[in-house]
Each structure stands twice: as structure tokens, then as C-alpha cells.
Amino acid sequence: MSPHFNRSEPCARNRDAGTLSLLFFVLVFLGPSLARAAGSASDEPAVSPLQEGSWRFIVSGDSRNCGDIVMPAIAAHSAKLAPAFYWHLGDLRAIYKIDEDMFYEAQNKGETLSCANYQRHAWDDFVENQIAPFGDLPFYVGIGNHEVIPPKNEAAFKRQFFDWLDAPALQRQRQLDHDAPLPASYFHWIQGGVDFIYLDNAMNFFPEDELTWLVRRLQSAKYNSQVKSLVVGMHEALPDSIANDHSMGDNPDEPRARSSGETFYRILWAFHDKTQKPVYVLSSHSHFFMENIFDTPALTPNVLSIVSNSTRKSAPPQTPGRFALPPDTDVPPMTTTAIEARRYSLPMSMFAPRK
């Protein structure tokens, strides 16, 4: 790794501090075909026209460090796919240190960016350089552990991103559910026969009130004929996956982490077992993309797969003179996978009995 990449000033200590973010990029096609294509920087799959009844959404996470470069590239590519929305799974900016993109932008202007100024402006920078490139596309933002590194916290996250947490679809869904009128850091909305749920485990566990809310939501989904499947997003993966060493299972000092993750797993499995509706889980945090992460001795025979291994891509084109990272800088890989599935079905983290 280039020494240049870690040149920015550390601002706080954090148990993730030694790990670079790896942003993954998933294009999910909801439609009749089971075809799947995975692309690379030099060999991207052709964008096929949508079949009747099909639609797409984009999901990724961990855009700290170099997100001001990578996220506009995702937005530009996504525009070709006519997605219904973009979904971010948390870790927007590093906070414990100055993100490299912001560090080098200031340096290239001959300015010094202090930790105090960085932390004041980090989330504004995310809005300006990572949300804005998506234009009018609905943008759903989730909370991750880097959003609760001091001086940031959940309350500050909800204030900063109120407009996105109170997006029309989320506001309308809260009204239909008779939930509290103000947005929380966890939420859901129903779209195209799919109940999309975001859960907050930024503190490494699911609080009791959040799990109670989830049980109510699944009870409603159980009897809602319009809900054909569930897609649950969160920042940290559940315990006992093959990514367990960087998940809800990696913190022995927080007993609620493993226990609440196991409770969540049982809740989802009971829902699937009762309804036979497909249930899928998306998470980031581990900074790479793997197949079959829940297919482990601790979890089988209940759970199947997640879809794709990561592929390294070259850095996206940069705006000349703006970030201008040194030529030997290591850029975190961007994993790109295109999936097309049967209507209401997604072949990722699927909860289903093993044969």
C-alpha cells in the first residue's frame, strides 16, 4: 500500500482505524430472468432493456476515504440502468481521521484541513459530493458505525440527514404504519412487492425497541398480500457468517451484539418459515463482497447465499486538479455485480432450507 494513502491526520481512535474502506457496488435487477452478468472496469456488461414487470435498484456502502471520487462514478454508471432508487448502507465519512479525498482536495488548493474543520464539514461534503451526483434519484441513507464516532452520534446523524430519513416514501410508510411522526435511524418502505427494511446496528447491536418495531413490521408483512419478499439492509453483518471477525459477532465486550444478532436471525427465519416469502440480507462493514457468507456450521441448515466475490477495478476518472491523488495511491476496490432475478426474488443472502 502506498504510504501516501494514510497521510491524512488521525482525529480519534476507533476499533476500525487500521482498516481502509472498500466500497461495494451492487446493481440489483428485479425481473423475470435468472441471467447474471458481472463486469470489470474494462469489460462492463451491456445494459439490456428491462423486461415487462422488471425494475432495478442500486445498493452500496462504506464510501468513506475515497467516496467523493467513487460515488460520482457509481451515479454516472447507474444513470444508464434507470434504477428506481439508490440505497447506502452506512459509513459515509471516516470521522476518526480526515478522508483522503477531502485531505488531498484541500492540499491541492494549498490549504490545511484541520480535524476540527474536517469533522464540522464531513457530512456536508457527503451531501455535496456523494448524494448530489445522483440528482433526483431517490436516495436512502443508512447509519453505520462511523456515524457514531465522537463527535458524531445518532442524534446528529438524524438532524443532518433528516430530509433523507423523511423522504416521501418513508414518511408515507410511517403514516400507514401509525409509527411516530419523526424519522428514526431505522426505517422501511414497500415498493414493487418488496418490503425494504433498514436496521440500525451502528453500535454493534440491535436495541430492544428496534427489534420490537421489527416484529410489528413483519407481523404486518406476514398478512400483506402485496408484500412478496423482504430485503433487509444493515451496516454490520449478523454473527457467525464467514465474515464473523468484522461483524456483530466480533465484540466480546458488548454482549448485546451477538445476542441481538441471533434474536434478529431467529425473527427472520420464523417469518420465512411461516410465510415462505423470500428474505434477503444486505450488509457492508466487512469491506468486501463474498458468496455464501451465512452458509456456516453455526447457521446451517437455515440460510443460503450472498452473490459475488470482489474484483479490483482501476480508480474512476478524477476531476483534473481537484482531488489529484498521487499516482501510486492505492484506491479501495469497487466491487460491481449485476444481477437479474425472477420477480420479487434476489439471489443474495437468501433464507431458505438447505437440501
Q: Residue 6's pLDDT is what? A: 45
Look at residue 12 in the predicted model and tell me its pLDDT: 54
pLDDT for residue 9 is more than 80: no
Residue 269 parent element (H or E)? helix 255-275
Cell numbers linked to 114? 484541520
Q: Is 36 exposed, middle or buried (0-12, 13-18, 19+ CB in 10 A)?
A: middle
Average pLDDT estimate for 59-84 = 88
21-25, 29-33, 214-218, 308-312: which has the minimum mean pLDDT? 308-312
114 contacts: CB under 8 Å, gap ≥ 6: 9
User: Would you give the end-to-end CA distance of the chain in angstroms?
Assistant: 43
Look-up of cell digits 466480546: 252
Q: Which fold has domain 3-341?
A: Purple Acid Phosphatase; chain A, domain 2 (3.60.21)
Predicted pLDDT of residue 300: 55
Per residue in 133-190, pLDDT (tens digit) is 999 999 999 999 999 999 999 999 999 999 999 999 999 999 999 999 999 999 999 9
Between 75-89, 246-260, 286-300, the lowest mean confidence (pLDDT) is in 286-300
pLDDT in tens, 95-133: 999 999 999 999 999 999 999 999 999 999 999 999 999
Q: Which residue did the predictor score with more confidence, 345 or 336? A: 345
SS3 47: coil
Q: How would you classify the pairing of strands 335-341 and 36-37? A: antiparallel
Q: Is the separation of the CB atoms in 230 and 219 below 8 Å?
A: no
Confidence of residue 46 (pLDDT cuts 50, 70, 90): low
Question: How far is the C-alpha of 91 from the C-alpha of 182, rounded, in Å?
Answer: 23
Residues 6+ apart with CB under 8 A from 169: 138, 189, 191
Parse the chain into domains and list their residue ranges.
3-341
Instruction: Give the residue with greater pLDDT, 73 vs 42.
Output: 73
Q: What is the pLDDT of residues 271-314, one digit of tens each?
A: 988 998 888 888 887 776 666 677 777 765 454 333 322 222 33
Strand order in the sheet with 55-61: 36-37, 335-341, 24-30, 55-61, 86-88, 139-141
Q: Which residues pair with 231 in a beta bridge?
A: 196, 280
pLDDT at position 33, please? 30
